[in-house]
């Protein structure tokens, strides 16, 4: 496998699929950015399959040539980006998996790397936030999603699932709630309480309807204003995007962001102090034409480009 992304050296369908054809390097030392996969969907509550997400995203990342024409930067040249492979998950034990995610991310952060975590279901944001908060203190969080994910319990007595990570993170003091924004929230719920609960946890909820009024630029101004210079963690649940653009996910909600709006929102994070990010909930079994994982790969490329812009 060549490290080069020149079409004159290596074809995109050639070799072993690492993210963006970056080198596979399980030891993150010496890298600027580590790509980590978490092939786990034990926190999923409706249709599963996100355990196959990291592999599909890597596969669809092979056509990322390197130069970002919107942000005018080549992150593959500006940064040493390595694919450290996948966390050893335990499919039948969510808390053991979370410990393994925390260990792997802590190893990367201690080595001075920034991390992009590929899910996997959204429960992985909890251990990712544990690792980042240990390094940076409580972080501002920009959370793109159709769902608030702030339930207390999704099933009686069950505190850990992909519907609860942000409530747990707030309880554990991992999030600076003076700068916690949820963007893209929509769809029917059992009652009004879901939104009220999230807001009572101090989440600044910008529903999809509110976003359409504010416009992409208005949302970006709010993000920049609230986050300021705080260390910021960005979590992107692909179901924030409309299922017309991202059908391969477990709990789709109609009436979401277009792929352009999602790309533009991520690009608009440039200039903020992003210390880490994840992209979750890509479910390849529901993605027959791979459009969801193609979009996911491109969104990760935008995250990398934001870092490359400094
Ligand atoms: Mn969601
Ligand atoms: Mn989510």
Instruction: Yes or no: say if 266 and 223 are a contact pair by the CB < 8 Å rule.
Output: no
208: CA distance to ligand 2 center in Å? Answer: 15
Q: Which ligand sits nearest to residue 208's alpha carbon? A: 1
In the numeric block, the tokens 């050639």 are attached to 14
Q: What is the pLDDT of residues 173-199, one digit of tens each?
A: 999 999 999 999 999 999 999 999 999
Q: What is the pLDDT of residues 58-112, one digit of tens each?
A: 999 999 999 999 999 999 999 999 999 999 999 999 999 999 999 999 999 999 9
16: CA distance to ligand 1 center in Å? Answer: 31
Instruction: Yes or no: say if 169 and 126 are a contact pair by the CB < 8 Å rule.
Output: yes
Residues, Cβ < 5 Å to ion ligand 2: 122, 145, 149, 237
d(CA 37, CA 8): 29
CATH number for the domain including 11?
Answer: 3.40.800.10
Instruction: Provide φ and ψ at 131, rounded to 5°.
Output: -65, -45
Q: How many domains does the chain have?
A: 1
Q: What is the pLDDT of residues 31-57, one digit of tens each?
A: 999 999 999 999 999 999 999 999 999
Task: Collapse the DSSP code of 143 into the 3-class scheme (helix H, G, I; strand E, B; otherwise coil) and give the result.
Answer: strand
Residue numbers of the domain that contains 44: 3-309
d(CA 111, CA 105): 10
203: CA distance to ligand 1 center in Å? Answer: 16
d(CA 159, CA 167): 9
């Amino acid at each position: 496998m060549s490290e080069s992304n020149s079409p004159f050296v290596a074809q995109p369908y050639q070799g072993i699929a690492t993210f963006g054809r970056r080198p596979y390097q399980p030891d993150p030392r010496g890298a600027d950015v580590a790509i980590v996969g978490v092939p786990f969907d034990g926190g999923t509550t409706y249709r599963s399959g996100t355990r196959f997400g990291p592999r599909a995203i890597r596969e669809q990342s092979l056509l990322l040539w390197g130069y970002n024409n919107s942000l005018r930067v080549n992150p593959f040249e500006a940064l040493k980006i390595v694919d450290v492979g996948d966390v050893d998950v335990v499919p039948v034990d969510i808390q053991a998996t979370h410990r393994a995610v925390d260990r792997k991310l802590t190893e990367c952060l201690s080595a001075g790397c920034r991390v992009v975590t590929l899910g996997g279901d959204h429960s992985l944001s909890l251990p990712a936030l544990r690792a980042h908060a240990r390094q940076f203190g409580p972080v501002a969080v920009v959370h793109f999603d159709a769902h608030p994910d702030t339930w207390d319990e999704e099933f009686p007595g069950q505190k850990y699932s992909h519907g609860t990570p942000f409530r747990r993170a707030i309880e554990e003091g991992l999030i600076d709630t003076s700068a916690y924004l949820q963007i893209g929230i929509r769809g029917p719920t059992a009652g009004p309480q879901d939104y009220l609960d999230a807001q009572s946890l101090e989440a600044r909820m910008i529903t999809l309807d509110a976003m359409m009024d504010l416009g992409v630029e208005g949302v970006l101004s709010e993000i920049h204003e609230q986050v300021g210079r705080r260390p910021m963690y960005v979590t992107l649940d692909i179901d924030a995007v409309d299922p017309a653009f991202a059908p391969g996910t477990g709990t789709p909600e109609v009436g979401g962001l277009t792929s352009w709006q999602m790309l533009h929102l991520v690009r608009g994070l440039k200039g903020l102090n992003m210390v880490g990010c994840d992209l979750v909930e890509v479910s390849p079994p529901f993605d027959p034409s791979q459009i969801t994982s193609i979009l996911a790969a491109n969104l990760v490329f935008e995250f990398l480009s934001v870092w490359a812009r400094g």
